[in-house]
Structure 1
Amino acid sequence: MNYVLREENGFRYIEEGEGETLLLLHGLMGALSNWEKVIEAFSPNYRVLIPMLPIYDLPLLTTGVKTLSKFVHKFIKYKKLTNITLLGNSLGGHVALIYCLAHPENIKTLILTGSSGLYENAFGGSFPRRESYDFVKEKVEYTFYDPATATKELVDEVFQTINDRNRVIRILAMAKSAIRHNMGKELHKITIPVGLIWGKNDKITPPEVAVEFNQLLPDASLYWIDHCGHAPMMEQPEQFNLLLREFLEKVTLKV
């Protein structure tokens, strides 16, 4: 990935393009590179910002989805962002939902893809055996419809992460926080337009999760991507970007 990682005021982030703000939030095992094709497609028309969420840097007692939402708020205040289009994948979607409830005045529209917040089947129901590279490879492949999407570089990155004791403790704490923090009873309060772009073959947050989000959110639009797992922007980037653009145009026409 050829984008500059900026470091300012305790934040690490990518910023590309100019225009309305498109703020992207990565997942628990995600990275800024997950959004590469979104940056390419949208930076000509949007100011695309991707903060690195401090999942591994928080004190253990405060490691949780609410703390990440507070971090996002600090970042938004620091960058003086308003009228934001907020897009989150997996845990990033969960953090985005919490943020929208706390600070609706800053958000124009929300897009969720493979978001937690209602249900997730993390690592296929079992925590990886850290010493087994093949087991980790199998679990990373489980994230996608096409196992080939789990490149060696991606598997190496996850293997390295979960063999770092401090990181693995925080991953567990964050995953438990996400599972405990079910948002089913709060979603009706989010009245802005929400786009749900979901892989039809997502095994982490299965299709029925998207259907439930669609039912519980007052102004939701649900889009499906065939032959696609938990990270559509990585596995089917062209289709994902097409649907994202379609949703954003629909929102613009509503205004």
Structure 2
Amino acid sequence: MLNQKKFSYITKGYGHPLILLHGLMGGLSNFKYILDFFPKKGYKVIFPSLPLYKMPLLLTNISNLSKYIMEFLVRIKVRKVTLIGNSLGGHVALIVAKKRLDLVHSVVLTGSSGLFEKSIGYNFPKRENYEYIKKKSQEVFYDPKIATKELVDEVFNIVNDKKKVIRTLYLAKSSIKYNMSRDLSMITQPICLIWGKQDHVTPPEVARLFHRLLPKSELYWIDKCGHVPMMEHPEIFIKILEDWLSKLNLNNENYFCKI
């Protein structure tokens, strides 16, 4: 039996479950607007905190993160969910969707890894240089002002924490190694791709390749937008997502959620 105490999560609202999956160095703040909006529209929004820095080092990889989410969904007795993943979280969502068709109704990917991503400093050659970390953090966005001092401080603290930075490197390398180009044709759930036109981490050609390889995918673009669209253009992102979800007949899906 799984131990519920191992899971850390936030839940809000009632209705069809939306599971939010953050990326490396991501967190709840990435999904603030989704968490505020969708519970008012008849959805249950669930944010599990991924144990990026809590797994044993040799088990710190994207496969085990995906197992963690599958265990989490089973533990809270939920099925036919919509997974919403950014960056590494999108990669996790794809693995879970492939392996557990019974748990996953649909998937939303934004700036997802899984095919190709450009390094945003995984080797951290100047990790003690605050201005360097600030510049790298700003490069994630089209508008550098989105990288607030609070966000930069958080990244700076992570990359200067030896245990955290080692696990970040392990996860980044495992993500690159776990290429899903041969798996995507087997993922048959509806997929919504929401991409920043100026994403330099997972560039537009990555979105187009996802769209071509995923059988039931739809691709939407947001202009003047980088790697984290739900932070940079939350109103546009939410509009696209709400319209797409409305087409899925989610009220007719049979799901149960314990929490």
Q: TM-score, normalised by structure 2?
A: 0.93
Q: Identify the residue that residue 26 of structure 1 maps to in structure 2.
A: 22
Post-superposition shift, 1:33?
Answer: 1.4
Map 1:191-206 → 2, pairs under 5 A: 191-206=188-203
Q: Distance in 1 between matches of 2:105 and 2:74?
A: 16
Deviations 1:32-81 (A, max 9, x none): 11100001110112110010000111111111111000000111111111
Indicate yes or no: 2:138 matched with 1:129: no
Give CA-to-partner distance per residue, 1:179-198, whole Å, 9 cap, x none: 00000001000011100000
RMSD of aligned residue pairs (Cα, Å): 1.3
User: Aligned runs of 1:107-146 on 2, under 5 Å?
Assistant: 107-123=104-120, 127-146=124-143
Q: Percent identity?
A: 51
Q: Is the 8 A contact 2:96 2:104 kept in 1?
A: no
1:218 aligned to which of 215, 230, 247: 215
Give the aligned residue type for 2:143: D
Q: Is the Cα–Cα contact under 8 Å of residues 124 and 203 in structure 1 kept in the other structure?
A: no
Following TM superposition, where does structure 1 have runs of at least 4 consecutive aligned residues deviating by more than 4 angstroms?
none
Does structure 2 conserve the Cα–Cα contact (< 8 Å) formed by 1:194 and 1:221? yes
Is 2:84–2:109's contact at 8 Å kept on the other side of the alignment? yes
State which of 154, 179, 198 in structure 1 corresponds to 2:176.
Answer: 179
Q: Confirm or deny: 8 A CA contact 2:113 2:202 kept in the other structure.
A: yes
Matched, 1:11 2:7: yes
Q: Which runs of 5+ in 1 are unaligned?
A: 1-7
d(CA) in 2 for partners of 1:129 and 1:86? 35
**SS of equivalent residue, structure 2 residue 141:** coil
| Relative contact order higher in (CA < 8 Å, ≥ 6 apart) | 2
Letter in 1 for 2:204: P
Counterpart in 1 of 2:35? Answer: 39
Return the alpha-carbon distance in structure 2 between the equivalents of residues 154 and 220 of structure 1: 32
Choose the corresponding residue for 2:72, options 71, 75, 93. Answer: 75
Q: Which amino acid aligns with 1:25?
A: L
* Alignment match of 1:48 (pick from 45, 49, 63): 45
For residues 210 and 34 of structure 2, what CA distance do their matches in structure 1 show?
23
> How many Å apart are 1:124 and its aligned residue?
5.8
Q: For the residues of structure 1 that align with 2:125 and 2:108, how far apart are their CA atoms? A: 29
Question: Any conservation in 1 of the 2:14–2:43 contact (CA below 8 Å)?
Answer: yes
Corresponding residue number in structure 2 for 1:63: 60
Residue of structure 1 in register with 2:239 after alignment: 242
CA distance in 2, matches of 1:121, 1:19: 37
**Matched residues, number:** 247
